[in-house]
């Protein structure tokens, strides 16, 4: 399922942050490759959701909306007509793989580049290009957030450097690399702004229809997961966010950029710093297989987090791990199971904490800034005992992130765009 998050930020000239409100829309329609008409409904539902969210902004607040930004799902790709802005092909969703394009992409890109994955935006572009599709001459590539923002500002062909990473953009040199620019489909690539940079004013017709102010700016967006990181306000190098959802994803702000395709580790640019990320297959999905959420709470209560568990597991839902150990054949290890469920859960939580610590250590060994503080998001963040175990095992302060909604992070970007536009 794709998630769209629309964020509206407002503030007056004398106060940059009088208040902001955040509206969120989710699209959960099933995607099928067979029925093109049905899949074209995706873009229709995104557009409809966007406008119904605008409609939802209480009318007395509309005149206060100073800037708008949107985060979208990374690598959700739309091919549009550059004259009309309308999609000319069904959207490629974030998780769709294009194995047909992968060998071609691997033959042109550097070996460890993030585009060398079947679901990268570049593989989607190459796959579409190689279909004898219509209207290649006037085609243009946009990401989900770019297209929705275009509906608001009307300047076709603008993206941000977070969304553009998976199509091959180099945020360090602030350009598309020569190996990409020499390809025939390079003319489809959008121009790239910094996330949060003001792109233009809200289109007149939308402004008057809804009653937004004349100087309301529309700012470049970012990806969903980066927006969620921004929400935690981890603004110093060494600050990190661990998402304990079905899987465990870690993101660390670093002074240095690191990449290692073996572990699926890559860096997004955030102004003058780098957001380094990696994702393990361990996480809450295993807990859910063994315990209900109610049991998790009840058993966790009885754990003494100051005491180290000697049980050494590698909790996985299925065979295969990618980070901090790259081993597609790794088997889950959840035995021996002690008689006490409290001890068992303690062993699992402690083992996941060890994997988390190992992940941060690996990032440091690869050259990233060392972790100094961890904020926590996701379903596992509500577990206070686990937080204390993790603090002991990782050896740095661990707390729950106050804000974890991606929409909040996009609101911070919109605020930045408003301040810079002034
Ligand atoms: P996702 O969005 O990846 O599906 P969520 O962020 O909604 O995941 O988190 C759901 C996960 O949180 C579940 O896998 C569940 O096992 C785990 N979870 C729920 N409650 C607790 C708890 N008290 N302690 C640890 N994990 C929990």
Given this chain, do its domains 2-225+407-421 and 236-401 carry the same CATH topology?
A: yes
- 3-state DSSP of 357-393: HHHHHHHHHCCCCCCCEEEEECHHHHCHHHHHHHHHH
Q: Are 1 and 28 in contact (CB under 8 A)?
A: yes
Q: Are 57 and 210 in contact (CB under 8 A)?
A: yes
Per-residue pLDDT tens for 175-229?
A: 999 999 999 999 999 999 999 999 999 999 999 999 999 999 999 999 988 999 9
Q: Is 290 in the pocket of ligand 1 (CB under 6 A)?
A: no
Residue 348 above 80 pLDDT?
yes
Of the chain, the percentage scoring pLDDT greater than 70 comes to 90
Q: Is 380 in the pocket of ligand 1 (CB under 6 A)?
A: yes
Task: Tell me which residue of 238, 229, 237 sits closest to 372, measured CA to CA.
Answer: 238
Q: Which two tokens stand for residue 56?
A: 């939802």
Expressed in angstroms, the distance from the first to the final Cα of the chain is 37
Question: What CATH code is assigned to 236-401?
Answer: 3.30.420.40
Q: Whose CA is nearest to atom 27 of ligand 1?
A: 380
| CA 381 – ligand 1 centroid, Å | 8
Query: For residue 284, which atom of ligand 1 is closest to its CA?
Result: 14
Q: Which CATH number fits domain 2-225+407-421: 3.30.420.40, 1.10.540.10, 3.30.1600.10, 1.10.630.10?
A: 3.30.420.40
pLDDT (mean) for 319-328: 94
Q: Whose CA is nearest to atom 20 of ligand 1?
A: 293
Domain ranges of the chain: 2-225+407-421, 236-401
> Which pLDDT belongs to residue 40?
59
**Helix extents (H) in 57-194:** 59-62, 102-108, 121-130, 144-153, 178-181
Q: Is 383 in the pocket of ligand 1 (CB under 6 A)?
A: yes
> Which pLDDT belongs to residue 42?
86
Q: Whose CA is nearest to atom 7 of ligand 1?
A: 379
Q: Is 271 in the pocket of ligand 1 (CB under 6 A)?
A: no
| CA 246 – ligand 1 centroid, Å | 6
Q: Whose CA is nearest to atom 13 of ligand 1?
A: 284
Handedness of CA 80, 122, 271, 360 (dihedral sign): positive
Per-residue pLDDT tens for 368-393?
A: 999 999 999 999 999 999 999 999 99
| CA 230 – ligand 1 centroid, Å | 21
Q: Is 67 in the pocket of ligand 1 (CB under 6 A)?
A: no
């Amino acid at each position: 399922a794709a998630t769209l998050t629309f964020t509206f930020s407002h503030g007056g000239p004398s106060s940059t942050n009088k208040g902001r409100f955040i509206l969120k829309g989710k699209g959960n329609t099933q995607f099928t490759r067979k029925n093109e008409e049905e899949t074209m409904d995706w873009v229709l539902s995104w557009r409809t959701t966007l406008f119904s969210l605008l409609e939802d902004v209480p009318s007395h607040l509309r005149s206060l909306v100073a800037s708008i930004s949107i985060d979208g799902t990374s690598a959700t790709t739309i091919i549009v007509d550059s004259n009309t802005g309308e999609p000319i092909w069904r959207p490629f969703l974030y998780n769709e793989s294009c194995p047909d394009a992968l060998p071609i992409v691997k033959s042109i890109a550097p070996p460890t580049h993030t585009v060398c994955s079947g679901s990268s935006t570049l593989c989607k572009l190459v796959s579409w290009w190689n279909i004898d599709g219509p209207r290649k001459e006037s085609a243009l590539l946009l990401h989900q957030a770019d297209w929705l923002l275009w509906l608001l500002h009307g300047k076709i062909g603008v993206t941000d450097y977070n969304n553009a990473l998976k199509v091959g953009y180099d945020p360090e040199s602030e350009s598309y690399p020569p190996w990409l620019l020499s390809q025939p489909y390079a003319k489809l690539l959008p121009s790239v702004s910094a996330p949060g940079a003001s792109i233009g004013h809200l289109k007149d017709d939308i402004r008057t229809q809804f009653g937004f102010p004349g100087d309301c700016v529309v700012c470049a967006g970012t990806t969903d997961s980066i927006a969620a990181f921004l929400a935690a306000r981890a603004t110093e190098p060494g600050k990190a966010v661990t998402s304990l959802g079905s899987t465990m994803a870690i993101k660390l702000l670093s002074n240095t950029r690191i990449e290692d395709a073996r572990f699926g580790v890559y860096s997004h640019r955030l102004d003058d710093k780098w957001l380094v990320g990696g994702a393990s297959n361990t996480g809450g999905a295993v807990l859910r297989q063994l315990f209900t959420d109610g049991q998790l709470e009840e058993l966790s209560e009885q754990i003494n987090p100051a005491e180290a568990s000697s049980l050494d597991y590698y909790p996985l839902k299925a065979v295969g791990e990618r980070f901090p150990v790259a081993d597609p054949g790794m088997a889950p290890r959840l035995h021996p199971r002690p008689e006490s469920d409290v001890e068992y859960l303690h062993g699992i939580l402690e083992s996941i904490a060890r994997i988390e610590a190992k992940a941060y250590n690996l990032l440091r060994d690869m050259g990233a800034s060392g972790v100094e503080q961890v904020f926590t998001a996701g379903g596992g963040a509500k577990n206070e005992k686990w937080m204390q175990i993790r603090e002991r095992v990782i050896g740095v302060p661990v707390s729950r992130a106050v804000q974890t909604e991606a929409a909040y992070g996009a609101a911070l970007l919109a605020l930045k765009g408003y301040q810079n536009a002034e």
